[in-house]
Structure formats: structure tokens, C-alpha cells
Amino acid sequence: MARIRQADVEEVKARTNIADIVGERVALKSAGVGSLKGLCPFHDERSPSFHVRPQVGYYHCFGCGESGDVYSFLRAMDHLSFTEAVERLAGRIGFALHYEDGGPAPETSGRTRLYAANTAAAEWFRAQLSSAEADAGRRFLGERGFDAGAAAHFGVGYAPKGWNGLRDALRAQGFSDEELTTAGLLSQGQRGVYDRFRGRVVWPIRDVTGQTIGFGARRLFDDDKGPKYLNTPETPIYKKAQVLYGLDLAKKSISRDHRVVVVEGYTDVMACHLAGVTSAIASCGTAFGTDHITVLRRVMGDDASAAGEVVFTFDPDAAGQKAALRAFGEEKRFAAQTYVAVAPDGLDPCDLRLMRGDQAVRSLVETKAPMFEFVMDQRLAGFDLGTVEGRVGALRAAAPIVADIRDSALRPGYTRVLARKLGLDLAEVTPAVERAARASRAPQDARTNAPRAGGSAPAAAADVEAPAEANVRVTLATLPRTADAATERDALMGILQYGHQLEQDAVAAALALPMTHPGLDAVRQAVLAQPDRTRIGWASQAAESTREPYRSLAVELLTGSFPALTEAEAIASTRALCVHLQVRALDRRKHELLGAIQRVPADSTEGREVRVALRDLDRQRAALVETR
């Protein structure tokens, strides 16, 4: 298979801003000069430790250690081959790739073909919505307040009633039955394959980057014995537990406002967006769960400093109440505050907009109530509070809800609210809430204190043998807190991040001097080995080539926050640090010579040579100091 020319690989990377690619999945905010940070997409965390440095085209998580360039990020997120990652970015910027040996472009592999098939299907479905047969689909949309413009904005289409319309259209474009079946567009029957979606309104489901990965479809005709809503099955690119309808359109609002509105259906998402609530999303054919929360938290930038809001809209029926209780069980995964919005007459956002207009939808979201208050009322509704037995049962059911309120400052107030709702004295309710809190903590405490499986309880720190250095992951946090280490650390960080903007003679002179810490010296050697420290990508190559166990340290130096307020200040500081390293080396040499001069006769040849060397060192030092 022909390979992409290396020069093209480097050119595409140089033209791509890694912050744009990462920012499609992670809400990034400033983390100092030239640095951005957000919640890590590779592990679950409460506070952001994932850093992106666009100038060097690199990312690194200071929590889990994952790092790489824009290609490795795409490969990890979308499970692409290296070639697919390069081709996707090249297509994004309109760059024509060349392949070595004059060979043709390699055949596009698996996942890329699935994306292409879904994109082609979405275009075909959209085109069918204007056909005569699609009158039922247009009527369905119109009856819910959606005109042609709204349908186009959301990419809504129509799947004809025939068995092979989509199949024939996509086979004519070069897709095989196997590819279309794997993409979830065809189903397998006893007589062969056939279109999965038939006689339905179809919504394209896109990932956070806007790529179509599947579909949701609504039954239109009475003779259709299939389910009311039919979704794409699980495929290599469609995982319903991680997919949120409308996220591609909502992500900018969610990231900007730190607010997301979770609704229950495709038409509810459309209604909210058209009414001005552009942060609305919905799960697709499955309950809102843990993986959905993880995706949303990254897009929101959901950490304690963001003061975010998550608003759930639930139907007031039994299914809606069940969904609310399920969401309450997961709400602690958010750092944001969680709320519930329910229309007084039980209308969902789509019907509410149709009957009362856009303002009613906006008001629904603004008149939200804290989720724990909503859940508490739902629990109390199942008891007869007019009887002693009912009040006692209600207290037992509702006390754990108050005990689970994350903000401890709110618990006393809601304990009083619960007492008032039950008609009980506060002295009766407070102990019940405290008991529930202790019961909730007990399982976690037991897990924390239990010895690990297959071993005894942890030994005292003094009894634990320190691991061999070769097995230790050396990071910035493990460096000694000495003035020498701090100087070397900041100098290397500045050189890796701004070295291409510095005088190369000064950088080379600083790098020629050994450093006191073995890890920092290993990074120095890797940087010194780079033949051209002005070309694009040199710093990431230096970090990646640093020998173990010091590679993580090199990556953290490459992506960490340099102690400066502006880029100009960072460059000036790095220049001064390079001089400081040289001055430090001269001072150490002078100290050695001063010791030597005490041991030799002043009028000896050796004594005269030492005095000459001292004067030369003083001249060099003075010249260096003038350059600071």
C-alpha cells in the first residue's frame, strides 16, 4: 500500500490547530501563556488536568499521562489508523496529499467507509423529503411546527417505503452490502439484505464533530408494525450509550454558558433550539447514563469553578418519574448543579412550543427546580401524609435524598423543608437525615479501608521499599525543590516552548552544560540532539525521543504552564535563564579555581595560569551579564 509522503504529513500537521480539533470534544480555557486546559477525554476527573499547547501542537494530561500530537488525538478518539487521521485532517483543510512511489491513494479502510456511508445516506434521505411520497413526513413535521427551513437545519429526511431504495442508491456510489450492513443502514433477512429504515421520518445523528454516525426514525404509517422509533443498531462508530442527539449543534452554547438542557426526543431538541434554547440535547434510544455524563462534562468544562447547570425535562407520567429518579442516582457525577423543569400541564417542549410559543419553552427552562427537591416531592407523593404510618414511611424514603445533597450548606435548609412537608418537628427529621448520611458513607468507608484482594493491609510508609528508579515515572511533581532544579526546569520548559524564537547560539551554549538532576539532564540531551530547533515540530520530537523513565517529564515540560504573563515575557525570561545557566557554570568553575590557587605557589607557572583563567572567567561572566 502506498504511503503518504512524509513532507505532506508534516505540512498537514503544521496547518492544523490542535486546539480546534481537541476543542470539538473538550471545552478548553486559558491555562497561562500559550496553554489551554480542560477535562481529560482519556479518563474521568473532577478538575481539569488535560493541557493543550497549540504553538507546539501537543497535548498532555498531568493526571493520567496521556500525550501526543493532533494525529494521535484523532486516532485515540475515533479509532483511526494513522493514514486515516492524516487523510481526515487533509480533507478538513483542503490539502491534496501525495503518496510515495507514485502509487495511488490507498483504499479507504473500515471506519472511514462507515462515516462516508452514513454521510451519503443522510444526503439521500434529505433529498427524499421533497418527493411526492414524503407528503406524510412533511405533514408530520408541519403539524409539530417545523417548516422546511427547520427540517434543513437539522438535516431531517424521509426514508421511502420501498425495500431497496437506499441500498440501490448507495451501491451506485460504490458501497458494498457488507459496508452498508455494518453501518446499520441495511438489515439481514431470510431473503437477503434490505433497507433498515422504511416509511419513516429520519433524523441524522451526529457525533460532537458533526460527522453523521447513525439515524433515528419515526414511524408514519399504520401498516408499519415496527417500533414507533427505530434507531441505528450498535456499530463500530455508533455507540448509543455515548451518543447525544443535537450535541453537534449545541456544543458551542453548552461550552459558552456552562448549561445543558436534557430533553427526551428529537422533536423536543428541535423545538428547544428553534425557541432559543440552543443547549438542548437528547439521548438516542436509551436512557441518559454515565457515558453521556462523561461526554457532556468535557463539552461543558464541568469543574467546580464553572458554576454550571444541567436541566432535565421529564414527562410527569410514571416513565418520566422513573427517569428522574434514575438521573438523580447519577447526578453526583456532575460538578454542575442539576435541575428539573416540568411544564405545569405536563406538555413536552415540542407540544409546549406548538401550543404556547417560543417564550413558553424558554420560561420552562428558567423556572426549573433543584433536582433533589423534585425527587423528594416524587417520593413523598407515594405516601398518605395524613396518617402516622404514612409520615414515618415518607421520612424514611425522603431522608436519604436530603442526606445526598452535595452542597452541605443546603442540607439544614432542606431538612427544615422536609419537616414542613411532613408536618413533623425538626427534632424528629434531623436525626433521620443524619442516620441516612452515615449509612450512605459506610459502604465507601469500607471500600477505602479494606485491604487489597490477595494481600494484607497496607504497610506503614517506613516499611515500604522504594521502587527502583527505572520503574518510577519521573514528572515535574517529583523534581527536588531546589534552586538549581527550578532554574533547569524553567530553562528547559522555555526552550521547548519558545526555543524557535530565541537566538540559537545562546540556546546551544545553555544546552551544552550538564544539569544537576538526571531527568532534566536526559531532557537536555534529547533537546541538544535535535539538529534544527527552529523547524516546526522539533520540540515534540525531542520530548518523544527522551529516554525512559524521563519521557513523561519531557512531555510535561513541553506542555506545562510557563511562569510568565505574556509570550514576550516568556521569551525574555527564557533568554535570561539560558544566560543564567552559563553564568552558573562560570561561577562553579571560578569556585574550583579559587580553591586551586590556594594550593599552588603564587609565583609558580601553575599559579600564573590560574590567575589568567580567573581573569578570563570574569570577562566572560561580565559579557554574559550584559546580555541579560
- Tell me the β-bridge partners of 186: 195
Give the per-residue pLDDT at 409: 87
8-state DSSP, 473: -
β-sheet bridge partners, residue 229 = 218
551-559 vs 538-545: helix axis angle to the nearest 10?
A: 150
Distance separating alpha carbons of residues 440 and 453, to the nearest angstrom: 23
Please give the pLDDT value at position 178.
96
Q: Give 534-544 pLDDT, tens digit per residue.
A: 888 899 899 99
Strands 186-189 and 192-195: antiparallel
Provide the pLDDT confidence category of residue 120 given band limits of 50, 70 and 90.
Answer: very high
Query: Does the domain made of 476-627 have the CATH classification 1.10.860?
Result: yes
pLDDT for residue 565: 86
The arithmetic mean of pLDDT across residues 213-236, rounded, is 95
User: Using CA atoms, how far apart are residues 356 and 200, in angstroms rounded to an integer?
Assistant: 27
pLDDT at 20: 93
Mean pLDDT of 184-212: 95
Q: pLDDT band at residue 455, thresholds of 50, 70 and 90?
A: very low
Query: What percent of the chain lies above the pLDDT cut of 70?
Result: 89
Average pLDDT, stretch 64-81? 90
Distances 551 to 68, 523, 544, 546, 548 between C-alpha atoms, Å: 12, 8, 6, 5, 5
Tens-digit pLDDT profile for residues 563-597? 888 889 999 999 999 888 888 887 777 777 667 66
CATH 1.10.860 in the chain is located at 476-627
Q: What is the pLDDT of residues 133-189, one digit of tens each?
A: 999 999 999 999 999 999 999 999 999 999 999 999 999 999 999 999 999 999 998
pLDDT range class, residue 470, cuts 50, 70, 90: very low
pLDDT at 572: 92
Residue 459: pLDDT band by 50, 70, 90 thresholds?
A: very low
Does the pLDDT of residue 599 top 80, yes or no? no
Cell representation of residue 15? 496547518
pLDDT on residue 304: 66
In DSSP notation, 554-599 reads HHHHHHS--S-SSHHHHHHHHHHHHHHHHHHHHHHHHHHHHHHHTS
Residue 454 has pLDDT above 50, yes or no: no
> Residue 350: is its pLDDT beyond 90?
yes
- For the residues 464-478, what does the mean pLDDT come to? 60
Read off the pLDDT of each residue in 199-210 and give the average, rounded to a whole number: 95
| CATH level 2 (architecture), domain 6-102 | Alpha-Beta Complex (3.90)
Contact 500, 538 (CB under 8 A): yes
Q: Which CATH number fits domain 110-231: 1.20.140.10, 3.40.50.150, 3.90.980.10, 3.40.50.720?
A: 3.90.980.10
pLDDT score of 442: 58
Which of the four pLDDT bands, split at 50, 70 and 90, describes residue 439? confident
Start-end of CATH 3.40.1360.10 domains in the chain: 244-370
Options 3.30.310, 2.40.10, 1.20.50, 1.10.20; CATH of 382-446? 1.20.50
- Of the pLDDT bands very low, low, confident and very high (cuts 50, 70, 90), residue 622 is confident
Cell of 606: 601553575
- Residue 473: predicted pLDDT: 76
Average pLDDT over residues 385-401: 92
* Sheet with 36-38, edge to edge strand ranges: 29-30, 36-38, 50-53, 58-61, 67-68
pLDDT in tens, 245-264: 999 999 999 988 999 999 98
User: What percentage of the chain reaches a pLDDT higher than 90?
Assistant: 54
Q: Which of 73-77, 136-140, 619-623 has the lowest mean pLDDT?
A: 619-623
Residues in the chain: 628
Strand ranges inside 342-430, DSSP E? 369-370
Using CA atoms, how far residue 450 sits from 436, 442, 455, 565, in Å, is 22, 12, 10, 46
> Can you tell me which residue has the cell 442526606?
403
The predicted pLDDT at position 458 comes to 34
What span, in angstroms and rounded, lies between the C-alpha atoms of 367 and 527?
58
- DSSP bridge pairs for 51: 37, 60
**pLDDT value of residue 199:** 97
Listed in order, the ranges of the chain carrying CATH 1.20.50 are: 382-446
In the structure grid, which three cell numbers stand for residue 32, read together? 497561562
83's grid cell = 493514514
State the chain's mean pLDDT as an integer.
86
pLDDT digits (tens, 9 = 90+) for 90-100: 988 888 888 87
Q: What number is the average pLDDT over the span 374-403?
A: 90
Predicted local distance difference test score (pLDDT) of residue 108: 56
CATH level 2 (architecture), domain 244-370: 3-Layer(aba) Sandwich (3.40)
What pLDDT does residue 593 have?
67
pLDDT tier for residue 471 given thresholds of 50, 70 and 90: low
How many C-beta atoms lie closer than 10 Å to residue 598's C-beta?
Answer: 7
Beta bridge partner(s), residue 59: 52, 68
**What's the pLDDT score for residue 160?**
97
pLDDT (average), residues 331-348: 84
